[in-house]
């Protein structure tokens, strides 16, 4: 019996398997509104057997977008555009999730295939960014430090976007606290130089993340799973550590989170990451053991047997993948075939099931 293709239940939602699609930015929205590209992109993974399909980092406010081409959920037009995409995922048997995000000091940047790099100037549609402290990401424009009122607006925006996501039909909400974006910027002493109740010791640096979890849980009620993505290390001296990540994971559970999606890095340009297959699995295991909360592993997990082994060894409860789904949108069907797991295939694809 394959663990990878066994069901997993979080609150009221049962996932048909534990091989999930990570949120991946497409930089293809118009004024925050997802397009036909997003519909095709996300629905194909559900046809390919994914247990959970999580839509990309979706900004809770306009100034929270990574780039001017990011998706959003700060208005009802965006909500209504997401609804048919969610329905397409459901129609193909998968659970639909969305990652709610605020990019903080890493907002207002060019999309990957633009001719320019760094911050987008106001003359090209860019904007002034915000952060816990007025400390710029290397090569980007300096942000403005959030004041108390600004912090309240961030919390309220996450709550409002969570409500729109639920109204659009999403089953799962993920809070983006990783990869150097706003909530991660508060968590790390490398970017958080505040002297108030949001800076200094870990409990203060985690305060905004926990408040956002509280606000999203208040909107979602008791039935909706709430996930939290964190970077369990900054890969830089003096930064956020795996031991702190485990503590924050436990606090997240206490505040109503159901699973921590464990990634790493993204906060500073001088990070040093040793990359190899499954390079973040040990971080997931640290958070799972120390945080007393289910976790997912992600990061160069590209093969069925590799993913199965991570679960067998107890390092994680589910597997997120990104690039492998881009290479093969039917990753789960292929993985099940390789493991000999009995799963439902779309009848249109049955001819490929055994031979």
Q: Which residues are catalytic?
A: 181
Closest to 347 (Cα-Cα) out of 146, 5, 81, 92: 92
Classify burial at 313, counting beta carbons within 10 Å of its beta carbon; exposed 0-12, middle 13-18, buried 19 or more. Answer: exposed
- DSSP alpha helix (H) spans, 24-75: 36-47
Please state, in angstroms and rounded to a whole number, the distance separating the CA atoms of residues 33 and 65.
12
Please state, in angstroms and rounded to a whole number, the distance separating the CA atoms of residues 47 and 268.
37
Written as six digits, the tokens of 189 are 């002493």
Q: Which contacts (CB < 8 Å, 24+ apart) does range 110-119 have?
A: 110/67, 111/27, 111/67, 111/68, 111/69, 112/27, 113/27
99's torsion region: left (phi>0), alpha (psi -120 to 50) or beta?
beta
What number of other Cβ atoms are within 10 A of residue 1's Cβ? 7
CB-based burial, 147-160: b 16+ in 10 Å, e otherwise: eeeebeebbebbbb
Contact by Cβ (8 Å): 225, 259: yes
């Amino acid at each position: 019996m394959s663990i990878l293709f066994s069901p997993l239940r979080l609150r009221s939602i049962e996932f048909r398997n534990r091989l999930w699609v990570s949120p991946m930015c497409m930089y293809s929205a118009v004024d925050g509104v997802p397009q036909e590209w997003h519909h095709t992109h996300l629905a194909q993974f559900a046809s390919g057997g994914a247990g959970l399909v999580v839509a990309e980092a979706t900004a809770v406010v306009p100034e929270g977008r990574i780039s001017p081409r990011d998706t959003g959920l700060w208005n009802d037009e965006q909500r209504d555009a997401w609804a048919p995409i969610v329905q397409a995922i459901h129609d193909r048997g998968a659970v639909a999730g969305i990652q709610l995000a605020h990019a903080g000091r890493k907002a207002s940047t060019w999309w990957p295939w633009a001719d320019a790099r760094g911050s987008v100037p106001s003359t090209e549609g860019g904007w002034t960014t915000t952060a816990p402290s007025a400390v710029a990401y290397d090569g980007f424009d300096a942000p403005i430090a959030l004041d108390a009122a600004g912090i309240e607006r961030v919390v309220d925006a996450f709550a409002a976007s969570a409500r729109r996501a639920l109204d659009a039909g999403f089953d799962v909400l993920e809070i983006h606290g990783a990869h150097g974006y706003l909530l991660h910027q508060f968590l790390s002493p490398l970017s958080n130089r505040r002297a108030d109740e949001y800076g200094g010791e870990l409990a203060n640096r985690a305060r905004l993340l926990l408040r956002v979890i509280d606000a999203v849980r208040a909107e979602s009620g008791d039935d909706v799973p709430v996930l939290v993505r964190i970077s369990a290390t900054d890969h830089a001296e003096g930064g956020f550590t795996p031991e702190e990540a485990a503590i924050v994971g436990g606090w997240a559970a206490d505040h109503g989170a159901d699973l921590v999606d464990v990634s790493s890095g993204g906060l500073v340009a001088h990070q040093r990451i040793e990359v190899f297959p499954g390079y973040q699995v040990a971080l997931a295991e640290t958070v799972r053991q120390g945080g007393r909360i289910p976790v997912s592993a992600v990061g160069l997990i590209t093969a069925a047997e590799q993913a199965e082994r991570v679960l067998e060894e107890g390092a994680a409860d589910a597997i997120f993948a990104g690039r492998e789904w881009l290479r093969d949108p039917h990753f789960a069907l292929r993985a099940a075939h390789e493991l000999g797991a009995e799963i439902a295939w779309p009848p249109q694809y049955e001819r490929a099931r055994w031979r």
